[in-house]
């Protein structure tokens, strides 16, 4: 699939996209990530309004394949723009990196719809242009895995990275043009908490801007 880049957005389109971002709500339940198209109204738009990709839900191991299937289904849609509105509370780290690499390959811009937390930030990094509009949140913390114990796996405890996954993430972030310091900082935040990235941190880590 040829990459279609829409990084230089017209002012009216960018304004409409920013307004829409505040309407994308977080599901009450951590459902698997779903992809769908949503129209953006701009000045002079009539029959063929540009449509952006909305990605909502938890990033699971099947999410990269689901996104690929979505692209194949919609490849003929001439109104689709390679702009992805992300709204997710996180998920699996490796799948998030794979999703981010797919965003990069198609030349997508990534935009925070409401909140992009935990592993979602690593998918967000894949955008060739990354925007976190005012009123939206990017949240980071330390990685962990839940390990089951007991005869019937009735108990779980958290296991933390030994440094190998963080090293992989730092290599990935560098390829995406984001400072490795973001990963180092995230790994110092307790897994039960979130650090909401501030605008100065977004700029310092080259993570995102507030507008187009």
pLDDT confidence of residue 99: 97
pLDDT confidence of residue 89: 93
Residue with token string 């009216």: 12
CATH number at residue 35: 3.90.226
Q: Are 44 and 11 in contact (CB under 8 A)?
A: no
Rounded Cα distance, 2 and 106, in Å = 7
pLDDT confidence of residue 153: 52
Q: Rounded to whole angstroms, what are the CA distances from 25 to 54, 93, 107, 179, 186?
A: 11, 22, 25, 29, 25
Helix extents (H) in 11-117: 11-21, 63-74, 93-105
Within-domain flag for 60: yes
Residue with token string 């690929």: 68
pLDDT confidence of residue 15: 47
pLDDT confidence of residue 23: 37
Q: Are 176 and 100 in contact (CB under 8 A)?
A: yes
Give the residues across from 32 on adjacent strands: 58
Within-domain flag for 173: no
Helix H or strand E encompassing 114: strand 109-117
Within-domain flag for 114: yes
Within-domain flag for 68: yes
In which domain, by residue range, is 112 found? Answer: 11-140+195-204
Domain count, the chain: 1
Within-domain flag for 212: no
Specify the pTM: 0.81
Within-domain flag for 77: yes
Helix extents (H) in the chain: 11-21, 63-74, 93-105, 120-124, 164-175, 181-186, 199-204
pLDDT confidence of residue 211: 79
Regions of the chain where pLDDT drops below 70: 1-30, 41-47, 145-158, 160-161
pLDDT digits (tens, 9 = 90+) for 133-171: 999 999 999 887 655 555 555 556 667 667 788 899 999
Within-domain flag for 165: no
């Amino acid at each position: 699939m040829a990459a279609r880049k829409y990084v230089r957005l017209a002012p009216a389109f960018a304004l409409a996209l920013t307004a829409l971002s505040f309407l994308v709500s977080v599901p009450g339940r951590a459902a698997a990530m779903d992809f769908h198209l949503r129209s953006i109204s701009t000045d002079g738009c009539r029959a063929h309004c540009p449509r952006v990709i909305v990605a909502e839900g938890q990033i699971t191991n099947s999410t990269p394949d689901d996104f690929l299937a979505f692209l194949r289904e919609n490849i003929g849609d001439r109104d689709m723009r390679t702009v992805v509105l992300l709204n997710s509370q996180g998920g699996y780290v490796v799948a998030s990196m794979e999703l981010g690499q797919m965003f990069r390959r198609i030349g997508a811009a990534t935009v925070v719809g409401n909140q992009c937390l935990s592993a979602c930030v690593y998918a967000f990094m894949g955008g060739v242009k990354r925007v976190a509009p005012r009123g939206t949140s990017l949240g980071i913390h330390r990685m962990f895995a839940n390990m089951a114990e007991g005869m019937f796996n009735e108990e779980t405890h958290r296991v933390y990275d030994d440094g190998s996954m963080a090293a992989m993430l730092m290599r990935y972030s560098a390829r995406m043009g984001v400072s490795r310091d973001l990963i180092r900082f995230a790994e110092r935040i307790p897994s039960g908490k979130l650090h909401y990235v501030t605008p100065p941190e977004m700029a310092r880590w080259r993570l995102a801007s507030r507008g187009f």
